[in-house]
Amino acid sequence: MPFTFGIRRQWNRIPPKSVCCPHLHHDRQAVHTARMPASGYRSLSLWHDTMDDDFTPRPGLDRDVEVDVAIVGAGYTGLWTAYHLVRADPTVRVAVIEREIAGFGASGRNGGWCSALFPASLQRMASERGRDAAVRMQHQLHDTVASVGAIAAEEGIDCHFDQGGYLSVARNPAQLERVRAEVADFHAWGFGPDDHRLLDAHEVAEFAQVSDALGGSWTPHCAAIHPARLVRGLAAAVERRGVTIYERTSAVDVGSRRVVTPHGTVRAEHVVLATEGYTPTVAGRRRAIAPVYSLMTATEPLGDDIWQQIGLERRTTFADNRHLVVYGQRTRDGRIAFGGRGAPYHYASRLSSAYERDERVHAMLRRILVELFPVLRDVAFTHAWGGNLGVPRDWFPSVRHDKHTGLAFAGGYVGDGVATSALAGRTLAAMISGDDPDDLASLPWAGRTSRAWEPEPLRWLGVNAVTALMTSADWSERRTGRSSRAASAFWTAMGQ
């Protein structure tokens, strides 16, 4: 989840001409904004603001270089790919190109859920490679959650990793019906109560004192983390292993075996595009991914008296089961960080730092959090931020590598990218090296390509219509207690 960014089933106005593209420039549209001063990076999110880091950019590329693997994007996907490549073979030469700094995008700003959630259902995964492959994919996701924590500990990355699981709360009869169906579905696929457990209202209260809870579910396969600490620590870890990260370096052209920047060209046998929500800024990829904004807010550090009325002692991540996703966690410094969807998709996949602050959406998030925990009514909210996530047309992430061109891509996580990107990086490393003992290249997302999004204005109309539909469905379910037929029909049409 997180930037479980999206609409349930795990997803989750025409903008000004100036757009912010942290990694790349589109060569057919003038896309340029002055880079953020180093002192400004702290204002990107709560996570950046609470780090002991001055965010001084690493040196940029100022000459031509030749490496084995060039990676565009210093977020989770790019850095995990680099990590697994050099961990398996320390002689591999890897360069990472980043327009801003490592962790500038969603990797440094998300909700901090390292979860086994995946945007596509098990049924949808099975339609790609069969039932066994779908089940194996889910087990890989389960294992990846724990693996992220283990690698962080091994590399000395204090990312506040606490695996307290994920609590999904039902607060009306329609949500309860959905929770029961989700748990039953996992059980039908062979996952037992140790993986997904149905809860009654009393059992929900043992995790958190959520208002109006009728029941819910819990899975252990989720950890709360400090996302910026993870991505910044991962950048330092790959550098220690010999990877070079070029920051404040724009990739103005990405092609087979080369990345062109303003002051030098990187030539490589393999080129990895790891740009997620910024992928539409790459020439020829405007319709590959729809960038959707997810926004977040955070409370002040809360006193023990308030925490006694909330719970979350194990830092269990939490959400209710509405269609328009929300997500929260208890931070190590005693805040609640809370986010969700509702921000509009912007015409032509435009990106801007202005879209990261939307008072209407931030006010909605504060209101929802107080609805969940009324004891928060009088507390102060100290931070508000946002960022974009990448949504493929079929909401199915992909990992692929073309042996003939050397081009590779991973992404389209629909907000479920913290653990998923770690598995993607490991899979890309296996594809590039040819060393794949776990047969990751046969998983359902490997080697596939989602079809392109519709051209504008259809894309703008469609994405925003879905957001409006899910908002309306949640309102109807709160009012009537009955499941929304419109939302159910939509998910059926999506093959979920």
Strand partners, 167: 218, 318
Question: What are the Cα distances from residue 313, in Å, to 174, 303, 332, 452?
Answer: 28, 13, 11, 44
Indicate whether 73 pLDDT > 60: yes
Q: Which of 30-39, 82-91, 381-390 has the lowest mean pLDDT?
A: 30-39
Strands 197-200 and 215-219: antiparallel
Give tens-digit pLDDT for 301-341: 999 999 999 999 999 999 999 999 999 999 999 999 999 99
Q: What percent of the chain has pLDDT over 70?
A: 93
> 418: which 2 tokens?
């913290």
For residues 422 and 80, is the Cβ–Cβ distance under 8 A? yes
Q: What pLDDT score does 29 carry?
A: 34
Q: What pLDDT score does 492 carry?
A: 77
- pLDDT band at residue 396 using 50, 70 and 90 as cut-offs: very high
Give tens-digit pLDDT for 247-263: 999 999 999 999 999 99
Cα 167 to chain centroid, rounded: 18
For residues 176 and 170, is the Cβ–Cβ distance under 8 A? yes
- pLDDT band at residue 487 using 50, 70 and 90 as cut-offs: confident
Q: What pLDDT score does 16 carry?
A: 30
Q: What pLDDT score does 34 carry?
A: 55
Indicate whether 472 pLDDT > 70: yes
Q: What percent of the chain has pLDDT over 90?
A: 89
Q: How far apart are CA 249 and CA 350, in angstroms?
A: 21
Q: Which of 13-27, 88-102, 447-461 has the lowest mean pLDDT?
A: 13-27
* Between residues 38 and 148, the one the model is more confident about: 148
Q: What pLDDT score does 35 carry?
A: 73
For residues 77 and 411, is the Cβ–Cβ distance under 8 A? yes
Burial of 284: CB neighbours in 10 Å, binned 0-12, 13-18, 19+: exposed
Angle among Cα 285, 289, 294 to the nearest 5 degrees reads 140
Indicate whether 30 pLDDT > 80: no
Question: What are the Cα distances from residue 22, in Å, to 103, 249, 351, 387?
Answer: 10, 9, 10, 11
Across the range 162-180, mean pLDDT stands at: 98
Indicate whether 33 pLDDT > 60: no
Helix, strand, coil percentages for the chain (3-state, nearest 5): 35, 20, 40
Domain boundaries, the chain: 38-493
Q: How far apart are CA 408 and CA 414, in angstroms?
A: 19
**Dihedral of CA 97/100/106/112: which sign?**
positive
Q: pTM for this one? A: 0.92
Identify the CATH homologous superfamily for domain 38-493.
Answer: FAD/NAD(P)-binding domain (3.50.50.60)
Across the range 463-473, mean pLDDT stands at: 95
Closest CA to 4 of 240, 368, 329: 329
The stretches of 171-303 forming alpha helices (DSSP H) are 173-188, 201-207, 227-240
Average pLDDT, the chain: 93
Indicate whether 6 pLDDT > 70: no
- pLDDT band at residue 490 using 50, 70 and 90 as cut-offs: confident
Q: How far apart are CA 243 and CA 123, in angstroms?
A: 39
Q: What pLDDT score does 132 carry?
A: 98
Indicate whether 239 pLDDT > 80: yes
Q: How far apart are CA 328 and CA 458, in angstroms?
A: 32
Cα 252 to chain centroid, rounded: 25
| Cβ partners under 8 Å of residue 87, min gap 6 | 241
- Locate tokens 């504060």: which residue? 366
Q: How far apart are CA 239 and CA 230, in angstroms?
A: 14
Phi and psi dihedrals of 97, rounded to 5? -105, 125
- pLDDT band at residue 37 using 50, 70 and 90 as cut-offs: confident
Indicate whether 31 pLDDT > 90: no
Angle among Cα 341, 473, 122 to the nearest 5 degrees reads 70
Closest CA to 4 of 424, 253, 275, 321: 321
Indicate whether 367 pLDDT > 60: yes
Q: What pLDDT score does 10 carry?
A: 34
Q: How far apart are CA 472 and CA 184, in angstroms?
A: 26
